[in-house]
Structure 1
Amino acid sequence: MPRLSKGTSPEAFGGLNALVDDIRAYVEAVPRPWCAGAVVLAGRGPDVLLHEAVGWAVRYAAHDRELPREQWVPMRPGTVFDLASLTKLFTATVTACVDAVDLDDPVASHVPEFGAAGKGPITVRQLLDHTSGLRPELPFYDCADAAARTALLWAEAPVAEPGSVRIYSDLNLIALQHVLERATGEALDALVREHITDPLAMYDTRFNPPASWIPRIAATEDQRPPWGRLDRGMLHGVVHDENAYAMGGVAGHAGLFSSAWDLAVFCRALLDRGGPWPGFEADQPWFMGELAGRGAVGHTGFTGTSLVLDPASDSYLVLLANSVHPCRDWREGSAMRAAAGTRFARALASV
């Protein structure tokens, strides 16, 4: 298990205080913030260089109404977030840990039903790198039960020739969940515990957090039509993604909750292991800023989460925000993520 410790202070590591100031500016922006609050953690080697919280974990009662000021809950370094698509990295990592699955296996060799409608040639690797040809998503939240959801996926045909083009798709990681569960006989949440969170002592990371965690969890969205596909009101401690919710909160593409420190442990373990990096995005300036361009890998989550690994400097940056609180229509792209990546890249270059 990687051991992390508070290392060089932000003052000594030039630029990190400015990184926090940048995030604070986004949180306090007028007329409206990019997010209600955020937690940022930056590390290099075994040292955690920065771990700060800004803003509010809970601020709004509804999409158009703030809570009374005395009911706002401050963001704290240990706040737990709905990771959204950062869950995909855990599903990908489990795949690399499971001997029963090879990346070049046809998906249908593990899940024969998946091979219908022209999906027979699709491989596990193509699910991980989003070259399966599957569309981005399906409305599983409209299905009556699990059998109807799987039937919808089995009947789906690729919209592009497998292997010909990259289409980022939640369906890839949902299909991969079926592969892992068939190949091992274990549920995905058990596999994540067995291969990742228990060995790394990531005790703030799990699907379906218990009610006792709610005071520590950042709220997400007042989810209702027309922007939400389900009418669930303000979400706090339950998964934001509608399809993951329909799947009982455990899904290959979304559903995990975690804290910045736990994700730092995860990042450190991945850097110690080294590449390759199945399931990761590589060198993406739109959310990595100037960290991109030298082999950085990472991912984002719809709720406002992101992480970036920079193998070249043995460093990583975790930025967790509740940018859909109170409503997804408040999201303003990834400017805050890119700004944080640029500040960190320049700080690394200064020492």
Structure 2
Amino acid sequence: MGGTEESRSGSRGPSRRAFGGRVLALGGALMIGTVPGASAAPEPGPGAAGPAAHAPGGARRTTLRHGSAARAGLLPEHLDRLVADAESFLLPPPGARHPWYAGAVLLAGRGGTVALHRPIGMAVRYAAYDEKTDSGVELPADRQIPMTGDTVFDLASVSKLFTSILAVQQIERGALELSERVTAYLPEFGGGGKGDITVRQLLTHTSGFRAWIPLYEEPTREGRLRRLWNEVPAHPPGTAYLYSDLNLITLQLILEGITGRPLDELLRTEITAPLGMRRTRFNPPPSWRPSIAATEDARAPWSGLDRGMVWGEVHDENAYGMGGVAGHAGVFSTAWDLAVLARTLLNGGAYGDARILSPASVELMFTDFNTAFPGDEHGLGFELYQHWYMGALATPRTAGHTGFTGTSVVLDPTTDAFLVVLGNSVHPVRSWRSGSAPRVAAADHLARAVPVRPAHGRTAWFSGMANDTTATLTLPAVPHTARLSCALWWDTEPGTDAAHLESSPDGGTTWHPLPFTTAGDTPGPHPTGTVTGWSGRTWHTVTADLPEAGPSGTRLRWRCTTDRRYVGRGVYVDALRVLDPTGRPVFDEARPADGARIEASGWVRAED
């Protein structure tokens, strides 16, 4: 291991021998709506999981079926809005010339229920791209192919998750060590100053590799390997986060070396066959082509290879040059199969009677190893806490990945929810797509569909989830020294969006921060009167001592602010009370007359 990582972690880091000491923290959280029908079977202890292993003791883990939003414990109106928003991206957004995708398949669920599985738009719409007019050459209407729920997609970098799972399986079995140098498995890898790169750094994108190199320019496997062996890292290992395809290509070589089997065979025998993922594979056969979403009219200068409209073959140039089987790209799959994979991981590594990972291995995949690089949280293979595509589903334990072709999968262990958005956003050309707005919108709607139960009674005040807003919830003036008591629930984009408690001595002309304390999962003082980020998605009890009242009394308000980019699940306030020094309530929102005096701007009463 390199000295940099040793100095940061102070140890060799987790290995398979440390798995038994980890605690799996999956499933619903306190005060989040419960998941009807969720499995309560006890988990076995960690241990080596062979191919198609059965859950010990006859325990059968949750499997998926289609069902209603109510069965999934979701609010149906927000799933309807998810679809409506997704359909809006089939058209150019205001100020743009092109849509984000030609079509997509949307899948959302919770627990064992898939409550939304909806195709929109076209799987194959264009014959070519006309660079002179920056427009797509549309196929005749009778040759265009609409999306279906079973449309197969080129997953692009979502393929990295499969390679990562295969690696963690080998760690379980003792064939691979997380903290071992790559050169222990690939001696030739050490050229160019790469001798200290570890397996862990490959999985967390901290090896120092640059994003990619054009391996496809080499016509032979030997030539491609030579370029990889000679590659010089952009950063010393362990000193920076830099997302790189080369990490997973290297991991593929390790896996094939220690198992003696090619990656496509490992995928089939270790993951897809045990889980029944029959529409997931590298190099789909020609018979699948009518059910596959087309990608790009690949030609220079925007593509490294002149291939014309890519349809039924891998889009990524390096994966194509490697025969369609690569650690970083090349897997084709459907929304349903990806939901099965998501459910397996949320189950702790098992689906039905099959187990592909131990619970402790899943825990490691969802554990942030990149604490030295805030904003680039990463488990083993999985990205964590990324609002830029996870939207309001993002928590420190929310895991997922995106793919360049327009694909994404998000798993939220806190609410036991999962979201798959598969779009053909490079059809007919990669330059038409920008950002991740459809992914964020879908995630925001699914997050809103998970109800937050009021702390008391039937409703609670909700700040909403709009961007670039300020919402205020203002109490009437109280005439003397008193104490505020209320329940608070918050989940915001950390740092940029926040809830502020403020007081005014002059009837609301000026406002000042009011320090408060919370009791709950994140107890402690908040001396600036502000909370931001993730609070465990649970209710917290707030108390705050009011300053001396002015001539017009003291007014209190909660003020929530959001920026223009992303939002969390929002802020809820309930059971607002102001008590005098003797403990007598001088204001209690449960009393109709007091509740009617609250001034809400941007806040609404939510039943959820």
TM-score by length of 2: 0.57
Tell me the CA shift for residue 117 of structure 1. 1.6
- Within a 5 Å distance, the mapping from 1:330-341 to structure 2 comes to 330-341=432-443
Match of 1:229 in 2: 304
Q: Tell me, yes or no, if the aligned pair for 2:85 and 2:441 is still in contact at 8 Å.
A: yes
Residue 116 of structure 2, aligned match among 44, 50, 62 = 50
Q: Tell me, yes or no, if the aligned pair for 2:298 and 2:310 is still in contact at 8 Å.
A: yes
Q: Tell me if 1:295 matches 2:397.
A: yes
CA distance in 1, matches of 2:397, 2:447: 13
Q: Tell me if 1:96 matches 2:168.
A: yes
Tell me the CA shift for residue 29 of structure 1. 3.1
Q: Tell me if 1:3 matches 2:63.
A: yes
Match of 1:243 in 2: 318
1:54-77 Cα offsets, whole Å, 9 max, x none, are: 000000010131111221110001
1:162-191 Cα offsets, whole Å, 9 max, x none, are: 001000000000000011011111111111
Q: Structure 1: 5+ residue runs without aligned partners? A: none
Match of 1:281 in 2: 383
CA distance in 1, matches of 2:397, 2:341: 18
CA distance in 2, matches of 1:9, 1:45: 11
Tell me the SS of whatever aligns to 1:214.
helix
Match of 2:21 in 1: none
Deviating 4+ runs (over 4 angstroms): none
Amino acid at match of 1:4: L
Amino acid at match of 1:132: S
CA distance in 2, matches of 1:315, 1:275: 17
Q: Tell me if 1:313 matches 2:415.
A: yes
Q: Tell me, yes or no, if the aligned pair for 2:384 and 2:396 is still in contact at 8 Å.
A: no
Tell me the SS of whatever aligns to 2:265.
helix
Q: Tell me, yes or no, if the aligned pair for 1:2 and 1:265 is still in contact at 8 Å.
A: no
Match of 2:212 in 1: 137
CA distance in 2, matches of 1:79, 1:43: 18
- CA distance 1:152–1:288, change in 2 (3 Å): same
Q: Tell me if 1:85 matches 2:157.
A: yes
Q: Tell me if 1:324 matches 2:426.
A: yes
Match of 1:71 in 2: 143
Amino acid at match of 1:25: S
Larger CA deviation: 164-173 vs 266-275: 266-275
Tell me the SS of whatever aligns to 2:248.
helix
1:92-136 Cα offsets, whole Å, 9 max, x none, are: 000011121121121110110011221111111100000000111
Indicate the structure whose relative CO is greater, using CA pairs within 8 Å and at least 6 residues apart.
Answer: 1
Amino acid at match of 1:254: A
Match of 1:24 in 2: 87
Q: Compute the RMSD of aligned alpha carbons.
A: 1.3
Q: Structure 2: 5+ residue runs without aligned partners? A: 1-60, 131-136, 349-361, 366-379, 453-607
CA distance in 1, matches of 2:129, 2:278: 31
Identical residues among aligned pairs (%): 54
CA distance in 1, matches of 2:193, 2:230: 9
Residue 267 of structure 1, aligned match among 342, 352, 375 = 342
By percentage of residues, which structure has more helix? 1
Match of 2:275 in 1: 200
Tell me the SS of whatever aligns to 2:346.
helix
Amino acid at match of 2:443: G
Q: Which has more radius of gyration? A: 2
- Within a 5 Å distance, the mapping from 1:98-113 to structure 2 comes to 98=170, 99=173, 100-113=175-188
Larger CA deviation: 325-334 vs 22-31: 22-31
